[in-house]
Amino acid sequence: PYLRLASQFVEQRGRGLIGDSGFGRRYLQDQQPARESVTEEGHVVRALYLESGVADVAAETDDAQLLGCSAGRWDDMVATKTYLTGGNGSRHSGESFGDSFELPPDRAYNETCAAIASFQWSWRLLLATGDGKYADLMERVLYNGFAAATSTDGKRFFYVNPLQRREDHFEEDDPGRRREWFSCACCPPNIMRLVASLGHYLATTADEVLYLHQFATAAITTPLAGGDLAVHMRTGYPWSGRVEVRVSAAPEASCGLAFRVPGWSANPRFWLNGEPAVPQRTSHGYAVVRRCWQPGDVLEYDTDLRPRLTYPHARVDAVHGMAAIERGPLVYCFEQADQPAGLSVEDLVLAGGSLREREDSLPGAGPTVLVEADAAGRPPTRYSGLPYTSTPQEEAVGDPVTATAIPYFQWDNRDGRAMRVWLPVAARVPTQQ
C-alpha cells in the first residue's frame, strides 16, 4: 500500500493538482510530470526530497524509464545549478533554484536542508546504479555544504551557506552569522538526523565485492556467499589521504575490496601488504582488488590530497575570471583574519599557481590544514564617480603577498568579518619592488 501511494504521488505531480500556494506551480514542482521534466526548478528542498521518492519508486518497481528521468535531472543539476561546495539554491526568493549557471557566490542561498536532501537523493541513485559519481557529490556535500552549517562548538547553525560575505554585509538587519536557533527550525534537527546516520552511507556490497564509498575509521562486517568479510578501516581523512583497510575475517572463496577513486584524485596509489598494487579500475569510478583474503591482509590507498586551483565554467558569469582552492574533498575560502594586515580580503587577487600547505590550529576553528597562495593586492578603492571606466583594468598591480585559505567548513568561527571562496586571477604576475 505504501508503494502504491508513493507511486500515485509521483505520477500525479506536475499535473496542476496541488493548487495555488501563492508561489506558482514551479515552486511546488507541479508544472511538469516527473517523466517529462529535464531540469530542477522551484523550492530546492522540496524538489530534492521529491527526487528521493522518485528514485525509491523507480528502484522498487524496476522502472528504468522513471529512474533515467531522475538521473538525467541529477546530471543537469550538477552541471548547471550546483555550487563548488555542493550546495544548491541561488535565489533567496522562494529558497529556489535559479537559471542554469546562475551561481552568484554572495547571493547563494544553499540551504542546509537542501544539502541533506541532495545527499539522500545521490545515495539512492548510487544504490540503484553503482556509479561513483553519486558518491563523489555526496562527499562534496558532506565535507563542505553540509559541514559548514555547524559551528566548531556545535551550538550554532547556518540556515543559508553563501560562498562570500562582504565586509558590510547585512540582510534584514542580520549580519549573516550562525544562530543558535531559527523560527523555522528545520536545519538543526535535520543536521542531527544525518550525523546520526552517517555510518549507513560508508559501504555497500554487490557481486561479492565490498564497495567503500566514503572514508572514515570504521569496523565493517558483511555476509558474502562464502562467509563473512570483516574489515577495519582507519584513516585521518580528510586531513590525510591515506586509507588503510585491514582484514580481520574472510570467506575461503575469492571476493573483492573496492575503493572509490574520487574524480579530483589525480594520482591515487595502492599497496597490498606493503607492496605496490595495481587494482582493476572500473568504468564507474572504483578500484577493485579481488583475491582470497586472509586475516591480517592490509590494503592501503592514498588519494593524493595535493591542493589545486579550480576554475569555473565560462557561463558562470558571477565568478568569471576567478579561481578557488581545493584540497582533496575540501573547498577552501579566504577569511579576513588570515590575510596580511591592512589588506582587505575583497582586494586580494591570485597571482601565480604556487600552493603550499601547512598544519596549524586556529583559535575558534581548531586543528586544520592551511593553504597558502601567491597573491597581490588591488590598489586602494577610489570612492568618486561611477565604479566603471572606459578602459579595462588589469588585476594585481600591487606588491606580491601571501594569501592564506582555510577549509570552507571552518569559516565564521572567529570574528565574523569578510570571507570569499573565489578570488580573481591576475592578468599578470607582480614583481617585488
Q: Are 242 and 235 in contact (CB under 8 A)?
A: yes
Whether a cis peptide bond, with omega within 30° of 0, leads into 329 is no
Q: Which residue has the cell 580580503?
A: 345
List all residues 6 or more positions away from 218 whose beta carbon is below 8 Å from its beta carbon: 199, 202, 232, 233
Distance, in Å, from the CA atom of 65 to the CA atom of 75, rounded to the nearest integer, reads 15
Residue 186 among the catalytic residues: yes
- How far apart (Å, rounded) are the C-alpha atoms in residues 424 and 433? 22
Question: CA nearest 404: which of 354, 310, 309, 340?
Answer: 340
* Candidate list 51, 95, 326, 335, residue with the active-site label: 95
Report the Cα 147 to chain-centroid distance in Å: 9
- Which amino acid belongs to residue 379? P
Burial class (CB in 10 A: 0-12, 13-18, 19+), 134: buried
Contact by Cβ (8 Å): 368, 360: yes
d(CA 241, CA 117): 27
Confirm if 268 and 293 have CB atoms less than 8 A apart: no
11, 186, 208, 357: which one is catalytic? Answer: 186
Which residue in the block uniquely carries the three cell numbers 582586494?
Answer: 347
Burial 313-330 (b: 16+ CB within 10 A, else e): eeebebbeebbbbbbbbb
Beta pairing, strands 209-212 & 255-260: parallel
Altogether, the residues listed in the chain come to a count of 433
Per-residue burial over 41-74, b if 16 or more Cβ lie within 10 Å, else e, is: bbbbbbbbbbbbbbbbbbbeeebeebbebbbebb
How far apart are the two ends of the chain, measured CA to CA in Å?
76
The dihedral of CA 56, 61, 66, 71: what is its sign? Answer: positive
Sequence-distant (6+) residues with CB within 8 A of 284 are 129, 130, 131, 132
Q: Determine which helix (DSSP H) or strand (DSSP E) holds 242, and give its type and residue range.
A: strand 242-249
The catalytic residues are 95, 186
